[in-house]
Structure 1
Amino acid sequence: MPAEFSDLSRLDRVKYYTANLFLRALIGGFKLIPYPQRIRAMGWLVARVMAPLAGFDRRVRDNLILTCPDLAESEVRHLCRAVPNNAGRSLIELYSGQSFIDHATAAEIGGPGLAALQEAREAGRPVILMTGHFGNYDAARAKLISMGFEMGALYRRMANPYFNEHYLRTISTIGTPLFEQGRRGMIEMVRHLKQGGIIAIVGDLHVQEGVDLDFFGQPAITSIVPAELALKQDAALIPVYAIRKPDGLNFQIVMHEPIAHSDPVTMTQEINDGLEDLIRDHMDQWFWIHRRWKSA
């Protein structure tokens, strides 16, 4: 959990403030570039300059060695560049405002989960949309909101308190309400669900209080709270993902079959399995930079 601002030392405050100035200046400079060139340029910068300096290449390689040991070395080298490229594109897309929203709302959307979402809305039934750090998950949120599916979203506060304020304002432009991960955010989110609302949750991060489930053949600690909420609130649990198209600028939104209600572990494992299948078809679009397999 990120530290409270009041708990930071003077040195930490200086470091965070300086980093915030650098990041905002970088983003502001890129926003002066026309949208298509902006997205490609940020992808290149993160992949070729920032990722090697930050050690992301090693993180990607270690995760691939752990989970895909038979992957050819040439493919590993390719993913060490392609994965941070997608991350860089996603970052600057988020800060591109209406230009990004226009690309997201123009995306094709389909899959059995779309009809299930429409049925739930007509019945006044709450919905939990599960997604992951794949493609650009905010594209799916923007697309569905443009179709009239008003939704809340659970977000994780950034460690840098200065940049977090800017980040929160930015993601709010796509849609609100937003619920911060934590006790208060959970209370607000449950209240939203009880009113028949829709919420979106990114569920593919290591969560200390989670359960060891399988992901790419390795134990990955995963939160089962979304499934528990779905059972308790009788909410439809629907995985949704935004696949980046080969042009690198546009998306296809896919909504998987709703997860059948059973028990939280079984339901969450099914979400993991569906995401893994999707990643195997688009290895470069998942955030292999995360420390997803800490327990391994």
Structure 2
Amino acid sequence: MAGDTARPSGRGPADRAVDLALRAAIGAVMALPYERRVAAMGALTARAIGPLAGYRRRASANLALIWPDLAPERRAALARAVCDNLGRTLIENYSGAEFARALPSEPHQSDGMEAVARARAEGRPVIFVTGHFGNHEAPRRVLTSMGYDIGGLYREMSNRFVNDHYAATMQDVSGPVFAKGRRGLTGFLRHLKAGGMATILFDLHDRGGVAIDFLGRPARTALTAAELARRFDALLVPYYGTRRADGVSFDVAVEAPIPHDAPLDMMREATARLEARVRRDPGQWFWVHNRWKAARR
């Protein structure tokens, strides 16, 4: 179809240039000891990569959209913090075993762990839902260290060069990871049907989703996680990794499961739980995403 051929491939010259710059930055900081590496990548993203890529500008625009009365100095500080956390998250996920060693041995908040353990014993599937908050890989890695096998469904990046090596950081952590799309969804469904556990990040704009209020503004949200939970009688469990003030350690929370209900109501509850964490620690959520596309237009 003509529309398909006109769609950017994600492998153009500009994509290659961005990928080469990112690889150079990652290669440089990976030579540093772990804690210095994480801090350096955070600072580099906040001061250079974030502004150049437009992340800081987009974060500031989204903050202004949601909290128009926020003082300009506070908004600028939060936009920098968002980019710093983004950089730290990126290099942590490339750091594999060193990142795992910096994490706690078990969740600090474990309201949902008894239900998760019971589901594993019964062979019942579990769908963990989370957002781009703190480091979204932290809870999966903590549960992996406790013997849980957790896969995931993720959306591929528009830059295919970057996606190729970033996706590899998720593959070796725990269970199978599936790219969103027909083939990936088929594998993901088989995984759940067999009683598997997996993670879905639900806080990205989904043009086929329904409008659910998030931070006071309607945001298009996919109902996929709730629909699959009902279809496969899976637990729907929110979990989060919140970065501590030292910048390298985390509080990990496994919340109580969301009761089965209409999918819209279940995702409203998931959204409300994420929203509560964002309000407490706004600098840790990835405000660089176009979460409110209609409102931004």
Q: Give TM-score, length-normalised by structure 2.
A: 0.93
1:122 deviates by 1.5
Query: Residues 167, 56 of structure 1: CA spacing in aligned structure 2 closer, same or farther, 3 A cutoff?
Result: closer
Q: Give the structure 1 partner of residue 275 of structure 2.
A: 276
Q: Distance in 2 between matches of 1:283 and 1:163?
A: 27
Residue 208 of structure 1 aligns to a residue whose secondary structure is: coil
Residues 128 and 237, structure 1, Cα contact 8 Å, conserved in 2: yes
Aligned match of 1:187: 186
Q: Deviation string for 1:275-294 (max 9, x for gaps)?
A: 00111111110001111001
Look up the match of 2:208.
Answer: 209
SS of 1:112's equivalent in the other structure is coil
- Is the partner of 2:108 in helix, strand or coil? strand
Is the partner of 2:120 in helix, strand or coil? helix
Unaligned runs of 5+ in 2: none
Distance 1:103 1:133 in 2: 19
Letter in 2 for 1:293: W
1:293 match: 292
2-structure distance, mates of 1:16, 1:62: 24
Shift, 1:168, TM fit: 2.1
Aligned equivalents of 2:35 and 2:184: distance in 1? 36
CA distance in 2, matches of 1:53, 1:83: 14
Aligned residues: 293
Q: Once the 2 structures are TM-superposed, how far is the Cα of residue 68 of structure 1 from its aligned partner?
A: 1.7
More moved, 225-234 vs 116-125: 116-125
1:227 corresponds to 2:226: yes
Q: Are 2:156 and 2:163, in contact at CA under 8 Å, matched by a contact in 1?
A: yes
For residues 287 and 114 of structure 1, the distance between their equivalents in structure 2, rounded to whole angstroms, comes to: 26
Counterparts in 2 of 1:27-106, with a 5 A limit?
27-106=26-105
Question: 1:166 Cα shift?
Answer: 1.5
Write the distance in 2 (CA, Å) between the matches of 1:16 and 1:252. 35
**1:93-172 → structure 2 map (5 Å cutoff):** 93-106=92-105, 108-172=107-171
* CA RMSD across the alignment: 2.1
Name 2:247's counterpart in structure 1. Answer: 248
Q: Structure 2: which amino acid aligns with 1:117?
A: V
1:16 paired to 2:37:
no
Q: Distance in 2 between matches of 1:49 and 1:124?
A: 47
Q: CA deviation at 1:189?
A: 0.9
- Distance between the aligned counterparts of 2:160 and 2:51, measured in 1? 25
Is the Cα contact below 8 Å between 1:105 and 1:142 reproduced in 2?
no
**Alpha-carbon distance, 1:111 to partner:** 2.8
Distance 1:8 1:218 in 2: 30
- Aligned CA distance change for structure 1 residues 163 and 64 (closer, same or farther; 3 Å): closer
Change in CA separation of 1:63 and 1:261 when aligned onto 2, cut-off 3 Å = same
State TM-score, norm by structure 1: 0.93
Task: Provide Cα deviations, 1:221-261, integer angstroms capped at 9, x if missing partner.
Answer: 00001100001111000000000011100111111221111
